[in-house]
Amino acid sequence: MKYALGNMLGGAGGLNPDGLSLDLQFATDKVLTARKGPTPVLTRASTATFIGSDGLIQSAAINEARFDHDPANPSVCRGLLIEESRTNLVFPSAALTTQTRTVTAAAHTLSFYGTGTIVLSGVHVATVTGTGAYPTRTTLTFTPTAGSLILTVTGSVTQAQLEAGSFVTSYIPTTTGALQRSADVCSITGGDFALVYNESEHTLFAEASAMSHANFGSYLSFDNGTANEQSALAGFPSPNSGVCYVFDGGGGQANITKSITLNQNNKLVAAMKASSFQVAANGSLGIEDISGTMPTATILKISRSWSSATITGTYKQIKVFRKRLSNAKLQTLTT
């Protein structure tokens, strides 16, 4: 049997008809190394914790990727864990004692393991009783007024964390003072970027479980470091949606949304081509935008937008195509 050279190189009807340029299977492979395309670079300026395949809390070194597991079923890898920066305000966290901490008038989340009780007083009043030892994590999200928050502790309260934010993140161990976990930054730049990117048309796919869509973060995006040039598979907070979001020359070209549910796996895809923009989520298409132009980008970012807003969560898989896939394929890819 004979094959045309163009087909062998991935032309129409060839080995790669959809122009797949990046295939990252984080939950299955548990490495950053791509099955196809360049391997992204992950940086984080601090150590950080995650749930290992043994179901226990483990520590990752500076710049080490974290592949998080379900503590109730540790054989299940949830994917690459990417988080915004957070600070644990209480210490020592391993076995919490009664203390007073200064907080701002913003959402905070308290979490711990054990069956003890923490009574909050001062700038916020609440009683939180633990529901069990690890892996049962008790959490409370609340918004205090600014000032001194008193935490009165009785009984078993372990791996305690008080962080500014509207949702709980991975455990940050503390001993003699508050401690910050740095943000995870994952991207492809330089010569590797050219192997992935096609300016005239492309499709961005992610399967992920997000904790929040605040600040218009992106699951996956091409940009030039500014808001003026970007094509993103983004997240919108109200209502929580996957978004095909495109800016060219500082002007909005597409903003198509499709509702999703946070804290569960969602399959999301955004397809971009001049005068043909679309989004799909979990097998359902948005309303196609048939006008607009394409931006010029220099970097691919995972979980992060041009403004460094992070979509905190676990990323099961990521794919990039150097083509604007058909609407039928967008539905199939996200089903």
Taking residues 66-94, what's their average pLDDT? 97
Rounded-to-integer distance, Cα 304 and Cα 221, Å? 7
Model confidence at 216, pLDDT cuts 50, 70, 90, reads confident
Among residues 123, 151, 181, which one ends one of the domains?
181
- Is pLDDT above 90 for 306? no
**Residue 11: what pLDDT?**
42
Residue 158 amino acid letter: T
CB-count exposure of residue 284 (10 Å: 0-12, 13-18, 19+):
middle
Q: What is the pTM of this model?
A: 0.94
**Residue 265: what pLDDT?**
97
In a domain, 17, yes or no: yes
Contacts of 293 (CB under 8 A, 6+ apart): 248, 249, 253, 274
Shared domain check, 264 and 214: yes
Rounded-to-integer distance, Cα 108 and Cα 123, Å? 12
CATH number of the CATH domain containing 124: 2.60.120
Shared domain check, 289 and 154: no
Shared domain check, 266 and 234: yes
Shared domain check, 240 and 170: no
In a domain, 78, yes or no: no
In a domain, 59, yes or no: no
- Is pLDDT above 80 for 3? no
**Residue 9: what pLDDT?**
41
In a domain, 25, yes or no: yes
Summarize the chain as % helix, strand, coil (round to 5).
10, 45, 45
| Cβ neighbours of 234 (radius 10 Å) | 28
What mean pLDDT, rounded, does the chain reach? 95
User: For 163-187, what is each residue's pLDDT tens digit?
Assistant: 999 999 999 999 999 999 999 999 9
Do residues 222 and 232 make contact, with C-beta atoms less than 8 angstroms apart? yes
CATH number of the CATH domain containing 262: 2.60.120.200
Shared domain check, 174 and 197: no
Among residues 117, 148, 181, which one ends one of the domains?
181
CB-count exposure of residue 264 (10 Å: 0-12, 13-18, 19+):
exposed
Rounded-to-integer distance, Cα 304 and Cα 307, Å? 8
How much of the chain exceeds pLDDT 70, in percent?
96
In a domain, 65, yes or no: no
- Is pLDDT above 80 for 21? yes
**Residue 214: what pLDDT?**
77
Number of domains in the chain: 2
Shared domain check, 142 and 192: no
In a domain, 202, yes or no: yes
Shared domain check, 168 and 142: yes
Taking residues 33-41, what's their average pLDDT? 98
In a domain, 119, yes or no: yes
**Residue 5: what pLDDT?**
40
C-alpha closest to that of 333 among 270, 242, 256, 260: 270
C-alpha closest to that of 94 among 13, 184, 175, 199: 175
**Residue 308: what pLDDT?**
87
**CA 46, 41, 193, 35 torsion: positive or negative?**
negative
Among residues 166, 181, 196, which one ends one of the domains?
181
Domain that holds residue 151: 86-181
Taking residues 149-171, what's their average pLDDT? 98
